[in-house]
Structure 1
Amino acid sequence: MKNLSIVGKFAALLAVFGVFTLGVATYSASQISKIDESYTDLLRHDSIAALALGKADKAFENGRAAIGDLLMLTDDALNAKAIKELKDAHDAFLGDMDRAVAAAPQEATLVDLKAAGLNVLDNVCKLTIQKAMVATIAADVAASQAIFLRDCQPQFPALSVKISEAAKRLEDQVGIRNHDLSDLSQDTIRMTFAIIVAGLLVVMTASFFAIRAWLVQPIKQLAATMVQLANGDLAVPVAGADRKDEVGSMAKAVQVFKDNGLRARQVEAEASAMRDQSEREREHNAAVQRARSEEMATATSNLAGGLQRLSTGDLTFQLSEPFARDFESLRSDYNAAADQLRQTLAAVAEATGSIDSGTREISLSADDLSKRTEQQAASLEETAAALDEITTNVANASKRTDEARLLAKQANESAVQSGIIVAGAVEAMHKIENSSQQISSIIGVIDDIAFQTNLLALNAGVEAARAGEAGKGFAVVAQEVRELAQRSAQAAREIKELIRNSSVEVEGGVKLVSQTGDALKTIESYIVEINRHMEAIATSAREQSIGLSEVNMAVNQMDQVTQKNAAMVEESNAASATLATEVGRLRSLVSQFRLEMTEATHAVRKTGDNALAIGPKLAWSRRL
C-alpha cells in the first residue's frame, strides 16, 4: 500500500466496502429465494389437500342429507331433485378426494378414505336409495327408513370423523411448516442486519486505522523530522523516502533538504579549514598572501553573510558578487546548495497543497454523508410512525372480523337447532297422518258394523212382522236399533270425511315443514360458507398484523444502524480535522523559509488558510 497514491488508497477501501455489500446482497437474495420456493411448495400440496378434504367431507354430508330427503319425500318431482342432489354430492366427493390424493400423494390414508366413501355411497346405501326411489306409501317409506337407519346412517359419522382427522393432520403440517418458514425469515433478517452492522463496524474501523497509519502518522513523522532539521540536527533519519505516493515525495524532498544542509555544513567546515591554513601560511607568504588575504576576507565575509541569511530561512539570497578565482567555486557551490534547498521546499509546499486538496474533499464528503444520514434517520422515523398506525388499524380489523365470525357461528348453531326442530315437526306430522289412517280404518269397521246391524234390524223387523201381535214389541225394538245403526253409519261417514280432510291438511303441512327444513339446510350451508370466509379473513388479518410488526421492528433496527453510521461519520470528521491540523503545522514549518513568490509559495499560503478554515468547520460538525 505504500506505493499507491492517496486517491488509490481510498479507492481500495471503497472496493472492500463494495465487495462486502455485494456479499450481503447475495446472501439475502439466496435466502429469500429459498423461502419463496418453500412457500410455493406448501401452497401447492398440503394446503390444497386440506381444503379438498374439507370440501369432500361437506359433499359426503350433503350426500347423507340427500338420502334423508329422498326417504321423506313421495312426490316424483321432489324425488328427482333429491336424486340429482345425491349425484352432485357423489361427483363432488369423488372430485375433491382425487384433488386431495393428487396434492398429497404421501398420505396413503387418503386413498383408503376415498374408497370407503365411495363404498358407502355406491354399495352400503344402494338398497336404501333403491327402496326410497320407489316408495309411494307409508309402509314402503317406513321400511326404507328402517334400512337406512340400520345399514346406511351409522357409516356416515365414522367416515366423516376420519376425513376430518386427515384434514386436521394436513392443516397441522401446514401450520408447522409455516412456523418453520417464519423462523427462517426472522433468522435471515437478523443475520442480514448482524452482518451489515458487523461489516460496517469492521470497514469503518479499518478505514480509520488505515488513514491513521497511511497518512497521519507518516506526516507527523515528517513534520518532526523537519523541525529537527530546522533546529540544525542533520543526523536525524528521514522516514518514508522509499514510498512512491505523495508522502514519499514529501520525504524525498526533506531528504534533499537534509543532504543540502550536510553539504553546507561540509562547505563551512572546508572554509574554516582553509582559513586556518591561510593563517598558518601567512607568516611564510605575508607579502604574497596579503592581497589574497583581502580577497579571502571578502569571500569569507560574503559567504558568512549568505550562511547567516540561510540560517534565518531566507533561501532567496544569492552570492552575486564574484569571488577571486580561487574562491569562485565556493560561491558557486553555495548558490547551488541554496537553489537546491529552495526547490526542495517548493516541492514540499506543492505536496502540502495536494494533501490539503484531499483533506478538503474528505471533509466535504463526510459532511454530505452526515446530512444524508440525518435525512435517512428522519425518513425512517416517519416510516416507523406510519407502520405503527397501520399495525393498529390491522389489529382492529382482525378484532372486528373475529367478532363477526363469532356471530356467524352463533347463527349457524341457531340454524342447526331450527333444523332439528323442523325434523321433529315432520316426524310428528307423519305420526298424526298414521294415526288418522288408523282412525279411518276403525271408522270403516264401525261403518261395516252399523251396516250389518241395520241388516240384522231389518231382518228382525221382518221376523217380528211374521210373528204378528207377539212380535210387535220386538219390531219396535228392531226399528229403534235400525235407526241407531243408520245414525251410527251417518256419523261414521261424517267422521271419515273429516279425517280425510285432516289427512289432506296434514300432508300439506308436511310439505311446508319439509320445505322449511330444506330452506334451513340451505341457510345452514350458506352460514358455514360465510363462517369459513370469515375465518380466512381473520387469519389473513392476523398474519398481516404479525408481518407489519416484524417490518416495524426491522425499521427500528435500521434507524439504530443509521444512528451508528452518523457516529462513525463524526469519527471520520475528527480524523479529517486532525489531518488538517497536521497540514497546518507543516505549512507553518515551511513558512519559516523565505522562498520566491511562485505557485508553490501561493500553495503553501492557501494550504495554511484552508487548514485554518477546515479545522473550526470540522470541530463544529463534531459538536452537531
Structure 2
Amino acid sequence: MEKTKEMLGKNSQVARLRKIVKQTKGSLVVGIILLILLFAASAGYEVVSSEQLESTMYLNQYRIGSKALTTAVQSYAVSANKIYYDAYMKELNTDKNRDIAWTGLEANNIKDYEWEELREIAALSNNLVPLEEEAMEAVAAGDVTAATEFVFGEEYSNTIQKINSLTDDVINRIQDRLDFSKRMFLIIQIACAVAFLAGFIILTQQCLRAIKFSEQELLTPIIKVADQMALLAEGNLHTQLDLKEDDSEVGNMVGAIRFMKDNMTAIIDEISYILEQMGQGNYLLKVEQNYVGEYIRIKNALNQIMDEMRETVSTIQDVAREIDSGSAQLAYAADDLATACTGQATEVSDLVNSLTALSDSIAYNEKEAEEAVKISNLASSTLIVGAQKMIELRDAMKDINQCSEQIIAVISAISDIGEEIDLLSLNASIESARAGEAGKGFAVVAEQVKKLAEASQNAVGQTSELIKRTVESVEVGTRISQEAAANMEEVQMGAEETTGRINSIVDKLKLEVESIAHINDSIGVVAGIVDNNSATSEETAAVSEQQKAQVESMVDMISKFKV
C-alpha cells in the first residue's frame, strides 16, 4: 500500500477522484444545510402568519365584544327596551367575547409593550362599567334622560373614542411587527432558495465532472486494459496497448502490462530456443534470462530438467556401451541354451513315459483296494447283524432270569400255603379227635388234606430245585452271551477299523493317481515349454545378432547428444 502511494503522482486518478468526491460531498452537505434552513424559514413564516391572523382576530373579537356592550347599553338607555338589556347581559355573561379574545392573546407571542397598551384598553373598558350600571339603574327608575346622559355623555364618548384609537394602534403595531418578521423570514427563504439553487448547480457540475472523469479516466482505460488482458489470456503478446504510461494508477497498470509482455516474450523466446536445442540433442545450455516472481520456478524447473537429462543421457550412453559389449556374450549364451533345451526335451519325454506306467500301476492297485473295501464292508455288515442278535439273546436271557425269579416267588408263596394247610389239617385232626365218633369222617378228610399238603410241598421243593438249576443255567448263558457280545463288538470294531484303513488307503491311492495325473500333465506342459524354449532359444540367438546390430546403432545415436 505504501509503495503504491509512493508511485502515485499528480496524475493519480485516485487523488483526482477523491478531490472530486470531496468537493461533491461538500456541495451536498451545504445543499442539505440550505434545504434545512429553507424549510425552517418556511415554517417560521407560516408560524408568524398564523400568529398575525390569530392576533388580529382576537383583537377584533375584543373590539366587537366592547362595541356590543356599548351598543346594547346605549340602545337600552334610549328605548328602555328590555331586549337590549338582555343582549347586554348575554354578551357580558354568556358570549364573553372580550374574555375569549384576552385568553387567545395570552396564548400568542405578544410583546410586553403591547401588553401595556392592551391592559390600558382593558382598564378603560372597566372604567365604563360604572357609567353603564348607573344608566341601567336610571332606566329601571324610569329616568331615561339621566340614563342617556350617562352613556352618551362626554366622558363615556371620549373613553369609547380612546379605546377605539388604542385598539387600532395596538392592532397596527402588532401587524407591523409581524409583517417585519414575515419579511425577514421571506428574505431568508429567498436567500436559502437562491443558495440552494446555486449549490444544486455546483453539485450537478461536480456530478457531471465525476461522470466525465469516470468515463475518460477510468472506464475507457479499464476497458482497454481488460481487452489487453483478454488478448494476453489468448496468448497474444504482440498487440500494442493504446494507452500512455505515466504516474497515474492506469499509467502504472499500463507500465506493468508492458513489462509483463516484454518479460513473457523474452521468457518464451528463451524457452523456445532451449527446447529447440534440446530437440537437436544439445543439453549444454543454461537459462540466463531474468525471471521474476513465480516465473523463477519455470527457470529452476528448466535448469533441473536439463541437468537431469544430461545425467540421464550420460547414463544411457554408459548402459548402451555395456549392452554393446554384452550382446556378443548373449548370442553365445543363446546358442548354448538352445543345445541344452534340446537335451532337456529328450529327458522330459522319457520321464513322461515312466510316469505313465507308474500311473497305470497305481490305478490297478486302486481298483484292487476298492474290491477289498467292498468285501470288508460286507463282513462288517454281517458282524453288525450278529452283534445285534447277540444283544437280543442277552436281553431274552435277562427276561428268562426275571421270570424265573418271579416263579420262585410264586413257589415260595405256594410252599407257605402248603405249610398253612398242613397246620390246618393238624388242627382238624385234633378237633376231630375231640369230637370222637362224630369227627371220624372229618379226620379222614384232614388226613387227606395233610397228604395233599405234603405232596404239594414235595412238588414245590422239586420245582424250586429245577428252577434254581434253570436260573443258574440262565446266568451262565447270560454271561456267555455277554462275553460273546463283547467279542463280537471287538471283532466289529476291528472290522470297522480295517475297513477305515482300507478306505484311507483307497483315498490315498486316488490322491496319488490324481497327483500322478497332475504331475504327468505338468510334465507334459514342461515338455511343451522345453520344446518352446528350445525353439525360442534358437530364435533368441537370431534376435541377439539383430540386437547387437541395433545396440551398435543406438550407441552411434546416443553419442550425438552433447552432455
Q: What TM-score does the superposition give when structure 1 sets the normalisation length?
A: 0.35
Q: Which has the larger radius of gyration?
A: 2
Q: Which has the higher contact order (CA 8 A, sep 6+)?
A: 2
Q: What TM-score does the superposition give when structure 2 sets the normalisation length?
A: 0.38
